[in-house]
Structure 1
């Protein structure tokens, strides 16, 4: 298949707000792909090539974009092979020139529309509205398979491209046979947000009310003596967390998949700031700070899959195999008891609580109403859209952040894009100002005299006192007293909080 067909489909999807029209366009493309083209094409449509990060930034892309080809000649597999070559370039003397040469060779064969899509794919900035939920529906349509089967296979495999290939080329039984595999990461279950503990308990009924730790999400897999640890984004970081590996290897099981958090503690057993955890979490070599694992769920134990069993059964197994490493919590339907757990969590230096319906299964990759997080201060993960140059003491530094919330369905703009909801320069330390000033020009897309506009890839956790109605911003809502808590390098922009979540605070 010509790469231009992928380009045209992406443009069609971006130009409509109709979910049905998006599904029709994507399903039509998927049905025409050859088997070996399916996984690469899915990666192109979602802006997540199967090669992962290529190591090329905005400047590299800009330098490589010469005159465009007059007519499309690239095939899907041509582009996939070119990305293989780019990803295989090893760091070292001459690597930049080699990568630039390979990129120029690719873009020289591309039309202007193909160059634009290639740039967004390589940078991970494809905004077509082809979100994974829509694409899952399209895969089911093209393969004539139940949506539930396709969704479950994608969640348990963690690989949308492989799921599409299996659905389109395999049998229904092949698709339904996809299950948990120890050693293969699973998309994590996510939590919704509630303003109060009472509201959360009202949504869930009887629930496990657990401390919400200010740590980094981990998923630990063990088979025999082999242990692997993954991030919330399914990256393998086993070599970075020897202390976590040691704990998991010491559990009384032969095989297990555990979900939890890891964080660094001070000498009194209190949690260190999130930045300390992430500094250690992201290190390739062991550092002085030790990370402690705390688990809140178990998905598999010794040949028994637990994801479809109620949380009560999973917690019983977790208590049996890892009693010393369980996140503290209480099972209750009483809001007053749940409030006390929240006060205990805050008193211990943690963020708040997560309230989990005790009869709920583990919904991998989903954010529903079964898990609800509650923090005493509203904090939301937003995306940096631009940054203004500072004045006074901050002259010469990029300071005031423009903040955007995710608009998954395009209610206020481009589907899958971001809607500006406010600005802030509060909470920025000198270290963060220095980092911003170095980082944001590297992902710059344009600038004016006072502002650098950046690719929307940087997630930042923002604390607010609430929101207010606004005619200034397209989403109709503006942040009140926003301040920076921390950058979230462990989160992707598509994991940011939505404009709908912020608008719900108006009703609250």
Structure 2
């Protein structure tokens, strides 16, 4: 049995180095020492996640506990997983007190270092989606397999602990058993920004150019009459979107998995504000604002998985099953027609266009550059790290945001700037109410947050700077909107920010 202390030590070693190889080696060494039943919970812990998912415990509950630490480490990984599961099961009258007692029992068996780790774990402060890439490589190293089968299994399962368990149990053969399962969401393929349309066209060759909608990403699954709808983060929203369920159920097929966007339209057919679309995902009255789907990929059709086929063949399948609901697109356009489509998208109220390699397979994340997004203004999706209390008219409100870019090597987000511009009175009020729920600590001027919220900012560019650890700083950054459909793993990387440097 491996102790929690080994996980804490490995986590500390990973946090202390910027070397991706060193992170991978440290994690792989620990994974290789685990008993089979320890692999899944330890993988979750190493990725900064609670085994089994959220447990309904916030910072205020933990901050109210004053528990002396144990003098020596004794907690095993299995005991920690069992204790967390117990906390998660507590429901009903008096649950707050009973949950606090269970947490106190767990923390009382932990050393000071383990207590700090567990508190940060429950508060989400250790959860770094960017670490997933390092975890994939470490799992591959520990199992003695190539990274690609691990990456593919993770895409299909959506669960890193299950992927690690399979890899260390049965190697490449066990990983190959993962298949696209209709009804289980697939981690989505993402796009990276392009400098402009001409460069994207020149880079990719034979392409599809399609509208980039100002909507919310959806993935729909249908097996006969059973339909499921998922968001970008794989959260199921089926019960909130009956119009999408009915539409997919009416398609001429037995089974299908479609990737696309959905958005609300006004009476003229133009997109409503993004926040109104996202508001539908939690609406109490699901008929209060109709959503319209626009599909751009088909991953499965009538018993046949299409993930590994070129995009051009997946688009043929999409045309067969959902031609009336395809996103506006042109295949293999010349530069002039592509520019016309870009202008048409902007005139229709959308963000720009996507340029996609017609020969590319479907792969989760930003690996490679097969999908490029082109917009008229510079924008970045960044992680909110902290907020400072405002002055003058903004006194009493959390205002100036600290912004971080994703570290592709699995570290915490890297700070690249601050801004208070673009924050409306409504957003200021929302931030002040919401941010304490994500608080990890504070000082006289600043509230520091678990790195979960993603905000989209417009900017005039970036410049080299020694002020921030990434060596770059945002210029004229302005908040455009929050992105509740995205998590920290979907934020733009520090590499993307540095790529915006003049001559970069």
Q: TM-score range by the shorter chain?
A: over 0.9
Displacement after TM superposition at 1:14 (Å): 2.1
Partner of 1:283: 283
Distance 2:327 2:129 in 1: 37
Superposed CA offset, 1:374-412 (max 9, x none): 111111111122222222222211112121212233xxx
Displacement after TM superposition at 1:180 (Å): 1.0
SS of the equivalent of 1:183 reads: coil
Which deviates further from its counterpart, 121-130 or 207-216?
A: 121-130
Which deviates further from its counterpart, 121-130 or 257-266?
A: 121-130
Q: Could you list the runs of 5+ residues in structure 2 that have no partner in the other structure?
A: none
Distance 1:74 1:439 in 2: 34
Aligned length: 502
Partner of 2:85: 84
Partner of 1:131: 131
SS of the equivalent of 2:369 reads: strand
Displacement after TM superposition at 1:29 (Å): 1.4
Contact in 2 for aligned 1:193/1:374 (Cα 8 Å): yes
Contact in 1 for aligned 2:129/2:489 (Cα 8 Å): no
How large is the Cα RMSD of the aligned pairs? 1.8
SS of the equivalent of 1:474 reads: coil
Displacement after TM superposition at 1:445 (Å): 3.1
Partner of 1:395: 395
Distance 2:143 2:444 in 1: 52
Contact in 1 for aligned 2:204/2:357 (Cα 8 Å): yes
Partner of 1:45: 46
SS of the equivalent of 1:209 reads: strand
Aligned positions of 1:180-219 closer than 5 A: 180-219=180-219
The 1:264/1:188 distance shift into structure 2, 3 A limit, reads: same
Displacement after TM superposition at 1:127 (Å): 6.6
SS of the equivalent of 1:185 reads: coil
Distance 2:152 2:246 in 1: 31
The 1:98/1:139 distance shift into structure 2, 3 A limit, reads: same
Which deviates further from its counterpart, 2-11 or 105-114?
A: 2-11
Displacement after TM superposition at 1:265 (Å): 0.9
The 1:425/1:275 distance shift into structure 2, 3 A limit, reads: same
Contact in 1 for aligned 2:49/2:127 (Cα 8 Å): no
Aligned positions of 1:290-369 closer than 5 A: 290-369=290-369
Displacement after TM superposition at 1:126 (Å): 1.4
Distance 1:314 1:130 in 2: 29
SS of the equivalent of 1:201 reads: helix
Partner of 2:31: 30
Partner of 1:56: 57
Partner of 1:412: none
The 1:469/1:31 distance shift into structure 2, 3 A limit, reads: closer
TM, length-normalised to structure 2:
0.95
Partner of 2:429: 434
Contact in 1 for aligned 2:124/2:450 (Cα 8 Å): no
Which deviates further from its counterpart, 51-60 or 292-301?
A: 51-60
Q: Could you list the runs of 5+ residues in structure 1 that have no partner in the other structure?
A: 410-414
Which deviates further from its counterpart, 447-456 or 204-213?
A: 447-456
Which deviates further from its counterpart, 374-383 or 167-176?
A: 167-176
Q: Which runs of 4+ in 1 moved over 6 A?
A: 127-130
